[in-house]
Amino acid sequence: MQSSSEINQRIARISAHLNPHTIQMEGNSVLRRDNCRAKGGSAGFKVAILGAAGGIGQPLAMLMKMNPLVSVLHLYDVVNTPGVTSDISHMDTGAVVRGFLGKDSLEDALTGMDLVIIPAGVPRKPGMTRDDLFNINAGIVKTLCEGISKCCPRAIVNLISNPVNSTVPIAAEVFKKAGTYDPRRLLGVTMLDVVRANTFVAEVLGLDPREVDVPVVGGHAGVTILPLLSQVKPSCSFTPQEIEYLTTRIQNGGTEVVEAKAGAGSATLSMAYAAVKFADACLRGLRGDAGIVECAFVDSQVTELPFFASKVRLSRNGVEEIYPLGPLNEYERNGLEKAKKELAGSIDKGIAFVRK
Ligand SMILES: NC(=O)c1ccc[n+]([C@@H]2O[C@H](COP(=O)([O-])OP(=O)(O)OC[C@H]3O[C@@H](n4cnc5c(N)ncnc54)[C@H](O)[C@@H]3O)[C@@H](O)[C@H]2O)c1
Ligand SMILES: O=C(O)C[C@H](O)C(=O)O
């Protein structure tokens, strides 16, 4: 026979399951939020994913749960987080997973985080540009960044939501307004452009993509995506036709996926892969590993524009060093001028959105 206190405990556990606002799911145990134990938690960093129930968010959450550098994983969305959290929390890896549903739980989701990854917002449909997402996603990113300023102002922020060329300036303005802006800690994620460039270049060269390193600079939309094919490692050369083919394919990689998905969204799986590769680099930087270099869209003085994507070295503080573009050939110099012209407008639009 069970005692009444045992029965009460069981009822509390069942009601915690049923009320998505009050549950926390930790490893294999489900506990009320006001009575939590970090059971099974390993030493590591606390990471929040905002938009965790989406097309990118779900595989990203799964891959971050597999990352040994993560001790606590917070999954926040305005829909469906209880199901995603329950599902992912059954994985027998070290990270403790907690789900947060709806805007009232944003502050709890963010408090104490070391890294916040943001794939929240609407994706493109065929015929749309990334800028067509501005009207909806600008407001979403602004609200989420206000929460970050308040609850985890020293967290590293990886911003995925499009248009990245405008959402990163929006985030910077929100942080400036709150007095919490540290340019080293805000990074627009352009890793998917690098991942695509490595893949497409490897195909042309007949190499394993893991052996190829293509710097991609500028921004994350159309002509602002500028692969520097003259700086590919291992050192190689391309015909003018190959350069034209590769540049166009890398710049249109996102559109290629949007069209293939025919209305069902944009890149999610390759993006989750790229986001985890980038987040892992940020976490290794936070841990103090040396020589972590990746491309990212950051507050920059590499050009006359206030934000620009180029190679950056990551450290305990986020972006420790921003590398210059290096020698460009004529094709790349022309590409750079086109990229800067379009980028300038997108950056201004983001800044104006917050200052208005
Ligand atoms: N940077 C890149 O390289 C890159 C690559 C692919 C997609 N993206 C962008 O990432 C974003 C997400 O794409 P997706 O395919 O995952 O879209 P999706 O619609 O599948 O998922 C988005 C998620 O965001 C959530 N969301 C909406 N408003 C929110 C809010 N206020 N707070 C928290 N969550 C909120 C939705 O509920 C949904 O679960 C899009 O803007 C897309 O363009 C960027
Ligand atoms: O193309 C998109 O709209 C999504 C993303 O920016 C991508 O490059 O795949």
3 state DSSP class of 5: helix
Question: What is the per-residue pLDDT for 9?
Answer: 55
**Rounded to whole angstroms, how far apart are CA atoms 74 and 84?**
11
- Tens-digit pLDDT string for the chain (356 aa): 455 555 555 544 444 433 333 344 433 233 333 344 444 445 799 999 999 999 999 999 999 999 999 999 999 999 999 999 999 999 999 999 999 999 999 999 999 999 999 999 999 999 999 999 999 999 999 999 999 999 999 999 999 999 999 999 999 999 999 999 999 999 999 999 999 999 999 999 999 999 999 999 999 999 999 999 999 999 999 999 999 999 999 999 999 999 999 999 999 999 999 999 999 999 999 999 999 999 999 999 999 999 999 999 999 999 999 999 999 999 999 999 999 999 999 999 999 999 98
* Cis, peptide link before residue 169, omega less than 30° from 0: no
pTM over 0.80: yes
Helix 191-205 with 253-261: angle, nearest 10 deg: 90
Cβ burial, residue 208 (10 Å; 0-12/13-18/19+) = exposed
Q: Which residues line ligand 2 (CB under 6 A)?
A: 123-124, 130, 162, 192, 220, 253-254, 257-258, 266-267
Which residue is associated with the tokens 């293939």? 260
Query: Is 137's C-beta closer than 6 angstroms to any atom of ligand 1?
Result: yes
Cβ burial, residue 335 (10 Å; 0-12/13-18/19+) = buried
What is the amino acid identity at position 355? R
Query: Is 59's C-beta closer than 6 angstroms to any atom of ligand 1?
Result: no
Query: Is 120's C-beta closer than 6 angstroms to any atom of ligand 1?
Result: yes
Query: Is 140's C-beta closer than 6 angstroms to any atom of ligand 1?
Result: yes
Answer yes or no: 90 catalytic: no
Question: What is the per-residue pLDDT for 330?
Answer: 98
- The DSSP element (H or E) to which 40 belongs, if any, is none
Backbone angles phi, psi at 154, to 5 degrees: -100, 5
Which residue is associated with the tokens 């391309």? 238
Cβ burial, residue 119 (10 Å; 0-12/13-18/19+) = buried
Question: What is the per-residue pLDDT for 5?
Answer: 55
Question: What is the per-residue pLDDT for 43?
Answer: 77
Ligand closest to the CA atom of residue 159: 1
- The DSSP element (H or E) to which 128 belongs, if any, is none
**Rounded to whole angstroms, how far apart are CA atoms 80 and 245?**
41
Question: What is the per-residue pLDDT for 31?
Answer: 34
Question: What is the per-residue pLDDT for 4?
Answer: 55
How many angstroms is it from 266 CA to the middle of ligand 2? Answer: 6
Percentages helix, strand, coil for the chain (3-state, rounded to 5) are: 50, 20, 30
How many angstroms is it from 272 CA to the middle of ligand 2? Answer: 12
Considering only CA atoms, which residue is closest to atom 2 of ligand 2?
254
Pairing of strands 115-118, 96-101: unpaired
Out of 17, 21, 74, 220, pick the active-site residue.
220
**Rounded to whole angstroms, how far apart are CA atoms 334 and 311?**
20
Considering only CA atoms, which residue is closest to atom 6 of ligand 2?
254
Taking the alpha carbons at both ends of the chain, their separation in whole angstroms is 66
Question: What is the per-residue pLDDT for 12?
Answer: 45
